[in-house]
Amino acid sequence: MDTNSKDEPTPMSTIRFRKLLAATAAATALATVLAGCGGSSSPASSSGGGDPVTGGTLTFYDPVEYSAWQITNTLWSNTQVTNNLVDRLTWQDPESGEIKPWLAESWEISEDELSYTFHLREGVTFSNGEPVDAAIVAANYDQHGFGDEARGIAPDTFFSDYEGSEVVDPQTVRFTFTRPNAGFLQVTSVYRSGILAQSYLDADWNEQGQLENVIGSGPFVLESVSGTSEVVLAKRDDYDWAPDGAQHEGAAYLDRVVFKTVPEAGTRVGALQSGEAHVARNIAPYDEETVTAGGGVIEAFPVQGQTNKLQISIGAPGPTRDVAVRRALQAATDRQSINEVALSPSYPVPTGTLAEGTPLRGDASEYLTYDLDRARELLEGAGWVEGSDGVREKDGQRLAFTLYVTPYYQVSQAVLELLQSQWKEAGIEVKLTTPSLTEYQALLADDPAAVVFQQGQTSRADADVLRASLDSTANNTTYADPVDNKLDQLVRAQALAFDPTERAAAVQAIDDYVFDQALQIPLYDETQVYGLAPSVQGFQTEAVARTWLYDTWLAE
Amino acid sequence: MRRYVARRLGQAVLVLWAAYTLAFLLLSALPGDAVSNRIKNPDAQISPAAQETLLSYYGLDRPLWEQYLHGLGSAVRGDFGYSLSTGKPVADMVVEVIPSTLQLTGLALVFGIAFAAVVALAINYGPWRWLRQAAGSLPALFGSIPTFVVGILALQYLSFRLHLIPAVDDGTLLALVAPAATLGLVIAAPLAQVFATSIRSTRAQPFVHVLQAKGATEGYIFRKDVLRNSSLPVLTLLGLAVGELVAGSVVTETVYAREGLGQLTVGAVNTQDLPVVQAVVLLCTAAYVAVNLAVDLAYPFIDPRILVDGRTRRVTAGRPAARTAPSAAVPAPVAAAVAPAAVPPRRLPVEVSMP
């Protein structure tokens, strides 16, 4: 601590201090020079395509810390990684929704629509060398369908009504169900249905949560994992079974991918600009311009499935039991303005129960037009008259609601604040609260039906997502009491319609009913916004916006 | 001395138990748990039946007291269980991140002490008045700027603009410097303030005037008398600073995206990962207790007048002769000013300056 040298006169000599200042100045100068040398890493302007280049390491920054790695974990950050490690029986075209071959070359659905026979591609191996054959595919689906109580593994909701598997021959496997489900073929394309090696299936729940154990047949393999914040993948050189929909064949272009969790939004955007990161996930609407101004590219991918909406609990007591009030709330909601003021063009304006891009989605835009006068009329008609402070009243009761800013969506606060002001125009008072994740969950655990408006969405690129959400025997998010038989019948009908035209009509019928009854108030289409460095080419995602880096390459 | 250490160790065990129990009670009192946190997310797509499977797998369906006793029993045996969010053994997770946090806090401590020393010396010995005054306002300035502001500014300029340091930890020493300096500033502010005040009051003591009168240079007086006499409060504060370093590492590691105990804690608290939080609480308590014990034991080496176990201890052997010479020659009033402290044996200093 004693920094004075021995024979220094006192007070500390001014000469010494000048030396110190000079040294500091020199250090600063040196630092600046070094900065000049080191600062040349800013990315060059986009090459605008060109021929794909093999090699290079892509750095991917994600805001959310990684949790356990079970294949059924849908956590956004985790699935960015696992989606690149595992292959599925089928591949869903994210644009058209069409199901195409992948590990399965072809398949047949039985007459009674209860059994599916898959013919597997030959020569596919896991990264540990074991073959991907009918037996292992059957074992994978059995674990999804039945769970494994002893290992702490519960049955997967995506495999409801699963009856069992049958290995017909080493390349042929058959699955049977107790009830027809037009959505099942799409399940075989979802990342959670990724085919994994026997060692993963033999592991218990905790061990399945270790990324080292997630051994698939995908274009990338795990190189290293560090705690909950970094994962490095390396390409698999002998990968030769890309799905038909991919842009190329053989091994992936990138040599390595470094996934890192960087919670601070400013750091992610800054790192993108400085060239330290190639891809940053979850760019906030207000950061999009910063990214493009810095030479980066914004790419938004629709999260197919439900739109992000306020689900109204019909079971909750209060004015929302009256359909006229619900319709008024719908009419008082200006989605265009939400998009322009609180969000960005990356977030499509919703036109139905399903988000843009979801196959066979219906169109309910006629129910979703903004019409303040109609909202006022509806409320007047229902007996809600304007009080002295502008808030409507009926029998001494104020037309006031509480909205919870859901902790899952980064844009929630801005959207609901705007909605608050929109509804106020119609004489509806909104109290906005921002609970923590824990508080919010306590609220839902306590009495979910009592929460009148629940903001949320469930993603899945298939209309069957509506059944999981609205069917009274599934998640029953309307909490209707007594049960809404009409709604149940509608959401089940789409699962029985195997013909696409019929199924589209069944989905449209759901949309018509849901919005005629104003059971949901759509806010925006859920979107994943990625910031890309200009050198990133061929970046794409699967149908629910999880990164798939097989076709991605780095220019320069 | 031995009895003193034994008693302190006994206290440490009690403190650890209390910390464990308190953390368990507080976290159990919170609504929800790690498993339902994961399941309640509308996009998790896990059925309520799965929730029961998981709860029973993790033993979270058992009564609270049973969970507590089981957890405590295992913790005593060194088994901290499995993380509810990653499924890894908690001990492994903690051990994995400790080196990174030790590097960060260690370097931060060095930076903090160095910065505090420079500022405290500048306040007291600065050759110009403006410098002394400017330095005098530094502790308050740095004490009042939150860590994350310093961190974000440092990133903005040093990393994004000048490309001097990587924005995200890449394992190099260079990546460690900015976070360590950021964290160092936090603890440096109170240290500098206390050290400067302490030097000032020591320099106002009559014995210093005597030494000056006898012609000793300021440098000599500082090294031989002022430093030792004014470092006790700083030492006490250093013990407390360890706690602050751990708390500060939470923010610093988040801003700089560094793997470490702080980041682990944030994640575990967010997901209500009780076993991980428990282990972190125990570890921090143990570190805190150990550091403060070490500080207490270090007092007598700096100030021989302090006795740790009530018995008189003479530390005359090996004292430099130069030291005794001027003291022996001081006039009576000055000797009286120094002596009173030495007469009734004190246990531990009470005039600890708190930030």
Sheet holding A220-226, edge to edge: A220-226, A230-235, A256-261, A57-62, A279-281, A527-532, A297-302
Element (H, E) at A444: helix A437-446
- Among residues A367, A361, A365, which one has the least CA distance to residue A350? A365
Predicted local distance difference test score (pLDDT) of residue A193: 96
Supply the mean pLDDT for chain B: 78
CA distance B139 to A205: 51
B65 against A18, higher pLDDT: B65
Q: Phi first, then psi: give them for residue A127, nearest 5 degrees.
A: -70, -15
Q: Side chain identity at A404, as an amino acid letter? A: Y
Among B133, B126, B124, B248, residue whose Cα is nearest residue B188: B248
How many alpha carbons fall within 13 Å on the CB side of residue A206?
12
User: What does the alpha-carbon distance between residue A351 and residue A365 come to, in Å, rounded to a whole number?
Assistant: 5
Residues of A in contact with B90 (CB under 8 A): none
Residue of chain A whose Cα is closest to the Cα of B112: A1
Q: Is the confidence at residue A457, as pLDDT, over 60?
A: yes
Chain A residues whose beta carbon lies within 8 Å of the beta carbon of residue B160 = 270-271, 273-274
The more confident residue out of B215 and A349 is A349
Reported as half-sphere exposure (CB side, CA atoms, 13 A), residue B74 has a value of 15
CB proximity under 8 Å: A 33-52 to B: 34-35, 38-39, 41
List b or e across B55-94, with b for residues whose CB sees 16 or more CB atoms inside 10 angstroms: bebbebeeeeeebbeebeeebeeeebbbbbbbbbbbeebb
- Residue B242 corresponds to which tokens in the numbers above? 């360890």
Range scoring the smallest mean pLDDT among A54-68, A126-140, B19-33:
B19-33
Q: Among residues A376, A92, A454, A550, which one has the least CA distance to residue B41?
A: A454
Predicted confidence (pLDDT) at residue B351 exceeds the cutoff of 80: no
Per-residue confidence band for A121, with pLDDT thresholds at 50, 70 and 90: very high
Average pLDDT of the residues in B274-281: 89
- CA-CA-CA-CA torsion sign (B268, B270, B271, B275): positive
Among the ranges given (A47-51, A475-479, B152-156), the one the predictor scored with the smallest mean pLDDT: A47-51
Phi, psi of B233, rounded to the nearest 5 degrees: -60, -35
Token pair recorded at residue A58 = 């892509």
Q: Do A267 and B257 touch (CB under 8 A)?
A: yes
pLDDT at A553: 96
* 3-state secondary structure at position A262: coil
Mean pLDDT of A373-382: 96
Give the pLDDT score at B293: 83
Question: How confident is residue B310, by pLDDT bands cut at 50, 70 and 90?
Answer: low
Is the pLDDT at A466 greater than 90, yes or no? yes
- Contact (CB<8Å) A263/B257: yes
Structure tokens at B217: 């240079």
CB contact, 8 Å: B177 with chain A?
no
The answer to whether the CB of A538 falls within 8 A of the CB of A552 is: yes
**Alpha-carbon distance B283 to B296, whole Å?**
20
A182-191, A301-310, A457-466, B205-214: segment of lowest average pLDDT: B205-214
pLDDT surpassing 70 at residue A151: yes
| Among candidates B47, B85, B127 on the partner chain, residue whose Cβ is nearest the Cβ of A67 | B85
* Strands A279-281 and A57-62, sheet pairing: parallel
Residue B97 touches chain A, beta carbons under 8 Å: yes
- B57 neighbourhood in chain A, CB within 8 Å: 152, 205
Query: For position A516, what pLDDT does the model report?
Result: 96
Helix, strand, coil shares, percent, chain A, to 5: 35, 20, 45
Check CB contact of A484 with chain B, cutoff 8 Å.
Answer: no
Instruction: Collect all residues of chain A within an 8 Å Cβ-Cβ radius of residue B93.
Output: 227-228
Residues 6+ apart with CB under 8 A from B154: B165, B178, B181, B182
Selected for mutation to probe chain A from B86, B147, B165 (highest A CB count within 10 Å) is: B86
The beta-strand segments (E) located in A293-450 are 297-302, 308-312, 385-386, 392-394, 397-398, 400-404, 429-433
Nearest to B43 by CA among A69, A192, A348: A192
Closest Cα of chain B to A207: distance in Å? 7
Which residue in B has a C-alpha nearest to residue A229's C-alpha?
B259
Comparing A257-271, B115-129, B332-346, which segment has the lowest mean pLDDT? B332-346
Residue B321 has pLDDT above 70, yes or no: no
What's residue B255's pLDDT? 81
State whether B164 and A35 contact (CB < 8 Å).
yes
> How high is the pLDDT of residue B125?
86
With beta carbons less than 8 A apart as the criterion, state whether A181 and A464 touch: yes
- Render pLDDT for A479-517 as a digit per residue (tens, 0 to 9): 988 899 999 999 999 999 999 999 999 999 999 999 999
What is the model's pLDDT at position A33? 38
Cβ distance of A271 and B167 shorter than 8 Å: yes
Looking at residue A103, its pLDDT comes to 97
Note the pTM of the prediction, 2 decimals: 0.81
Interface ipTM above 0.85? no
pLDDT at A520 over 90: yes
Taking the Cβ of residue A381 and every Cβ of chain B, the question of whether any pair is shorter than 8 Å is answered with no
Query: What CA–CA distance (Å, rounded) separates B272 from B275?
Result: 9
Which residues from chain B sit within 8 angstroms of residue A68, using beta carbons? 85-87
Neighbours of B136 (CB within 10 A): 18
What letters, b where the CB count within 10 A reaches 16 and e where it falls short, cover A304-316?
bbbbbbbbbbbbb
B152 with A266: Cβ contact below 8 A:
yes
Confidence band, pLDDT 50/70/90 cuts, at residue B308: low
Q: What angle do CA A316, A318, A323 make, to 5 degrees?
A: 90
CA nearest A207: which of B271, B33, B57, B39? Answer: B57
A274 touches chain B (CB under 8 A): yes
Q: What CATH number belongs to B95-302? A: 1.10.3720.10
Distances from the Cα of A200 to the Cα of A3, A152, A194, A204, angstroms: 60, 13, 12, 8
Work out the minimum CA distance from B298 to partner chain A, whole angstroms. 16
Instruction: Verify whether the Cβ–Cβ distance B40 to A444 is below 8 Å.
Output: yes
Question: Positive or negative, the Cα torsion across A75, A452, A441, A157?
Answer: negative
Provide the shortest C-alpha distance from residue A3 to chain B (in Å): 9
Q: Choose the mutation target among A267, A477, A523 for the interface with B, i.e. most B CBs under 10 Å.
A: A267
pLDDT, mean of residues A334-344:
95
| Cβ-based contacts of A2 with chain B (< 8 Å) | 222-223, 227
A vs B, Cβ pairs < 8 A, gives 201
Mean pLDDT of B156-184: 81
**Residue from the list B43, B117, B231 with its beta carbon closest to the beta carbon of A459:** B43
Which residues lie closer than 8 Å to B206 by C-beta, 6 or more apart? Answer: B333, B334, B337
Residue B309: the pLDDT is 56
Sequence length of chain B is 355
User: Mind spelling out the 3-state secondary structure of A164-194?
Assistant: EEEEEECCEEEEEECCCCCCHHHHCCCHHHC
Residue B323 has pLDDT above 80, yes or no: no
* Tens digit of each residue's pLDDT (9 = 90 or more) over A274-328: 888 999 999 999 999 999 998 999 999 999 999 999 999 998 989 999 999 999 9
A positions 447-466 inside 8 Å of B (CB): 456-460
Say whether A208 and B37 touch across the interface (CB within 8 A): no
- Structure token digits, residue A69: 């790695």
Poorest-pLDDT segment among A26-40, A100-114, A244-258: A26-40
* Of the listed ranges A141-145, A545-549, B105-109, the one predicted with least confidence: B105-109
Which among A10, A152, A227 is the nearest to B96, CB-wise? A227
Share of chain B above pLDDT 90, in %: 5
Return the higher-pLDDT residue of B24 and A330.
A330
The CA distance from A2 to the nearest CA of chain B, in Å, is 7
What span, in angstroms and rounded, lies between the C-alpha atoms of A29 and A426? 62
Look at the block and give the residue holding tokens 């160790």.
B9
Contact B45 A74 (CB under 8 A): yes
Please write down the HEC assignment for all residues of B81-150: CECCCCCCEHHHHHHHHHHHHHHHHHHHHHHHHHHHHHHHHHHHHCCCHHHHHHHHHHHHHHHHCCHHHH
Closest residue to A274, CB basis, from B118, B125, B163: B163
- The beta strands (E) that lie in A463-546 are given as 520-524, 527-532, 536-537, 540-541
What angle, 0 to 180 degrees and rounded to 10, lies between the N-to-C axes of helices A500-516 and A485-496? 160
Residue of B36, B127, B264 lying closest to A17 (CB–CB): B127
Q: Which of A146-160, A202-216, A541-555, B174-188 shows the lowest per-residue confidence on average (mean pLDDT)? A: B174-188
Do B41 and A408 count as a contact with CB atoms less than 8 A apart? yes
Is residue B107 pLDDT above 50, yes or no? Answer: yes
Report residue A366 CA to chain centroid gap. Answer: 28
More confident residue, A381 or B246: A381
pLDDT tens column, A403-440: 999 888 889 999 999 999 999 999 999 999 998 877 88
A24/B237: higher pLDDT: B237
**Choice between B74 and A505, residue whose per-residue pLDDT is larger:** A505
Chain B, 209-268: which have a CB under 8 Å from a chain A CB?
217-219, 222-223, 227, 231, 254-257, 259, 263-264, 266-267
Q: What is the pLDDT of residue B343?
A: 41
Q: Tell me the C-alpha distance between A192 and A232, whole Å.
A: 20
Domains of chain B: which residue ranges?
2-76, 95-302
Query: Using CB atoms, which residue from B41, B46, B167 is nearest to A267?
Result: B167
The identity of residue A25, as a single letter, is A
User: Is B99's pLDDT higher than 50?
Assistant: yes
Angle, alpha carbons A80-A82-A83 (nearest 5°): 70
